[in-house]
């Protein structure tokens, strides 16, 4: 027949293998020696195949079918069963051979992406990426879709997300962002040259560790390391890994990577331990995950209130670099709006054009109107069109993101959705915590973290993105909150 404890045991067994795989993938991006790449790819493929076997086991299907009609389950137990059954039926669509092929191609693509970045040549990555895109096209047929093949991939990261929905959202926000950017470009530009001095690697690293401590990252339940591209991964809520990267001539790179990834990590550390391996112990969606990182990175980490408290300590770490820079000028400088090449270093406004370009590009690749060979030229053309910048080379162009080498097609749009959710959630938090601004100015972000734990983190996948947004803020996603936030902020910084 199958009982809930049997179901839970099976799901936790799957989670154990998944998280073992995640350790290998984390190591692959941090400490793996170059010669270990081929065997690591094989090991990852084997574990991925095993996960698929466990996830599609007939016994699990029988247990889930039986539990569908069980009347003695709690609300969260019913939700776990319902979501697991949905996941089970989706996994059944994949063959073991497809899973292995996809995993091996992703592993190969990741290492060719690393090599391509070192050689600053997209051509080095092109063949493996092309194979991966063909597999992704096959995956859209496996998963099924009604309107556009890209919908199948979008749904993997944001349930219910479609090309139609994103086209509408980006069409709505694009002119408002463009109008704001046009206003800013008519004003005197702020100075951020103080951010591009020499900042020794070890000093930056030490400051980054201080920062993540300040935000509430539990180092007994996680750690930070260096990687080619900053990321967060979690093996369970008590073992969450974040990475950053350091550029000794750019203070921005490490600082806001640390804050961004800590936002992700705080979410993972806030999930329910009792729900390990179950849907209610997993994050709600990628846009909600991104809402957490973008909220901490921008709404907090680029706010005047946060730096009112933190700036004196920053000057202790870098006394020479910031001795002539006032707090006001520091705040303006870290919020400078200027079109640039790199998404992760972009300001809050131009950032969304970076996302839109990637969204349109992926959509065209999956529908077949663009080929892998066309990527560099299309990329450069769009950057000139939307941001009026000439992309100097592949590394600062179409090779800058790790996502494609991971097979993560359909991910990028969640960055913008996450920013929109972040502004709305932060507005709700300020309403519900009357002295929140004062707490942040006194260096205390714990009340905000507690609010996020209660409103977002603890629920896992119990609710969809929109349901969570409604519970926390009283309404579904409203882009107006984001636009109001950036208009209020940048009209003061640029004095218009």
Q: pLDDT (tens digit, 9 = 90+) per residue, 325-371?
A: 999 999 999 999 999 999 988 999 999 999 999 999 999 999 999 99
Residues recorded for the chain:
496
CB 477 within 8 A of CB 417: yes
Give Cβ neighbours of residue 206 (< 8 Å, ≥ 6 apart). 317
Q: pLDDT (tens digit, 9 = 90+) per residue, 65-83?
A: 999 989 999 999 999 999 9
Residue written as token pair 């290492």: 111
As a whole number of angstroms, the distance between CA 128 and CA 109 comes to: 5
CA distances from 233 to 133, 355, 424, 440 (A): 24, 22, 26, 27
Catalytic residue among 77, 158, 261, 268: 261
Tokens of 132: 């991966």
**pLDDT, averaged across the chain:** 96
Burial of 377 (0-12, 13-18, 19+ CB in 10 A): exposed
Indicate the SS3 state at residue 409.
coil
Residue 261 annotated among the catalytic residues of the structure: yes
Nearest 5°: phi and psi at 430?
-65, -35
Using CA atoms in the order 310, 214, 233, 334, what is the torsion angle rounded to 10 degrees? -10
Burial of 431 (0-12, 13-18, 19+ CB in 10 A): exposed
| Geometric angle at alpha carbon 32, from 237 and 297, rounded to 5° | 45
Q: pLDDT (tens digit, 9 = 90+) per residue, 78-113?
A: 999 999 999 999 999 999 999 999 999 999 999 999
232-236 and 239-244 strand pairing: antiparallel
CB-CB neighbours of 39 under 10 Å: 10
Tokens of 409: 């097609």
Paired strand residues for 236: 239
Q: Is the pLDDT of residue 435 over 80?
A: yes
Q: Is the pLDDT of residue 412 over 90?
A: yes
CB 424 within 8 A of CB 481: yes
CB 474 within 8 A of CB 427: no
Share of the chain above pLDDT 70, in %: 100
**Secondary structure letter of residue 475 according to DSSP:** S
Q: Which of 23-32, 308-317, 375-384 has the lowest mean pLDDT?
A: 23-32
As a whole number of angstroms, the distance between CA 365 and CA 359 comes to: 10
* Secondary structure (DSSP) of 368-406: TSS-GGGHHHHHHHHHHHHH-----SSTTTTTS-SGGGG
CB-CB neighbours of 205 under 10 Å: 16
Indicate the SS3 state at residue 250.
strand
Give Cβ neighbours of residue 39 (< 8 Å, ≥ 6 apart). none
Angle between helix 351-367 and helix 163-185 axes, rounded to 10 deg: 150
What does the domain layout of the chain look like in residue ranges? 1-93, 147-496
Which CATH topology does 147-496 take?
Answer: 1.10.1370
Helix (H) or strand (E) holding 222: strand 222-226
| Geometric angle at alpha carbon 31, from 25 and 35, rounded to 5° | 90
CB-CB neighbours of 189 under 10 Å: 12
As a whole number of angstroms, the distance between CA 364 and CA 357 comes to: 11
Which pLDDT value is given to residue 319? 97
Half-sphere exposure of 228 (CA within 13 A, CB side): 21
Closest CA to 149 of 302, 367, 358: 367
Q: Is the pLDDT of residue 1 over 70?
A: no
Q: pLDDT (tens digit, 9 = 90+) per residue, 140-186?
A: 999 999 999 999 999 999 998 999 999 999 999 999 999 999 999 99
Which pLDDT value is given to residue 201? 97
Which pLDDT value is given to residue 345? 84
pTM to 2 decimal places: 0.92
CB-CB neighbours of 138 under 10 Å: 13
- What is the spatial order of strands in the sheet that 232-236 belongs to? 222-226, 239-244, 232-236
As a whole number of angstroms, the distance between CA 232 and CA 264 comes to: 7
């Amino acid at each position: 027949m199958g009982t809930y404890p049997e179901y839970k045991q099976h799901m936790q067994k799957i989670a154990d293998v998944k998280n073992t795989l995640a350790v290998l993938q984390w190591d692959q991006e941090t400490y793996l020696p170059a010669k270990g790449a081929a065997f690591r790819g094989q090991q990852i493929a084997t574990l991925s195949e095993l996960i698929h076997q466990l996830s599609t086991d007939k016994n699990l299907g029988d247990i889930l079918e039986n539990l569908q009609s069980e009347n003695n389950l709690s609300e969260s137990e019913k939700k776990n069963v319902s979501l697991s059954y949905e996941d089970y039926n989706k996994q059944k669509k994949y063959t073991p051979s497809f899973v292995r092929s996809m995993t091996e191609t992703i592993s190969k693509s990741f290492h060719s992406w690393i090599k391509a970045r070192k050689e600053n040549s997209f051509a080095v990555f092109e063949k493996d990426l092309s194979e991966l895109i063909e597999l992704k096209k096959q995956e859209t047929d496996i998963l099924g879709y009604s309107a556009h093949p890209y919908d199948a991939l979008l749904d993997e990261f944001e349930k219910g997300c479609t090309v139609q929905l994103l086209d509408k959202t980006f069409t709505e926000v694009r002119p408002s962002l463009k109008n704001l950017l046009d206003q800013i470009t008519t004003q005197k530009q702020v100075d951020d040259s103080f951010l591009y001095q020499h900042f020794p690697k070890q000093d930056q690293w030490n400051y980054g560790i201080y920062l993540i401590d300040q935000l509430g990252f539990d180092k007994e339940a996680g750690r930070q390391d260096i990687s080619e591209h900053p990321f967060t991964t979690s093996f369970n809520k008590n073992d969450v890994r974040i990475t950053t990267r350091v550029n000794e001539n750019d203070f921005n790179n490490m600082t806001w990577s640390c804050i961004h990834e800590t936002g992700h990590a705080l979410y993972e550390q806030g999930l329910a331990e009792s729900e390990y391996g179950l849907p209610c112990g997993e994050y709600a969606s990628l846009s909600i995950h991104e809402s957490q990182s973008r909220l901490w990175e921008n709404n907090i980490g680029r706010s005047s209130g946060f730096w009112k408290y933190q700036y004196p300590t920053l000057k202790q770490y870098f006394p020479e670099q910031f001795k002539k820079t006032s707090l006001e000028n520091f705040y303006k400088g870290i919020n400078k709006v200027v079109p640039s090449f790199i998404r992760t270093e972009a300001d809050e406004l131009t950032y969304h054009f970076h996302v839109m370009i990637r969204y349109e590009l992926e959509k065209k690749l999956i529908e077949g109107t663009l080929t892998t060979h066309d990527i560099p030229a299309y990329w450069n053309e769009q950057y000139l069109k939307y941001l009026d910048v000439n992309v100097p080379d592949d590394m600062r162009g179409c090779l800058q993101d790790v996502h494609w080498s991971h097979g993560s097609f359909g991910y990028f749009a969640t960055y913008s959705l996450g920013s929109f959710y972040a502004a709305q959630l932060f507005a709700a938090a300020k309403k519900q915590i009357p002295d929140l601004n004062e707490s942040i100015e006194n260096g205390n972000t714990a009340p905000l973290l507690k609010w996020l734990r209660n409103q977002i983190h603890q629920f896992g996948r119990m609710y969809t993105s929109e349901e969570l947004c409604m519970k926390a803020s009283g309404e579904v996603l409203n882009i107006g909150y984001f636009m109001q936030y950036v208009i209020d902020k940048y009209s003061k910084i640029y004095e218009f």
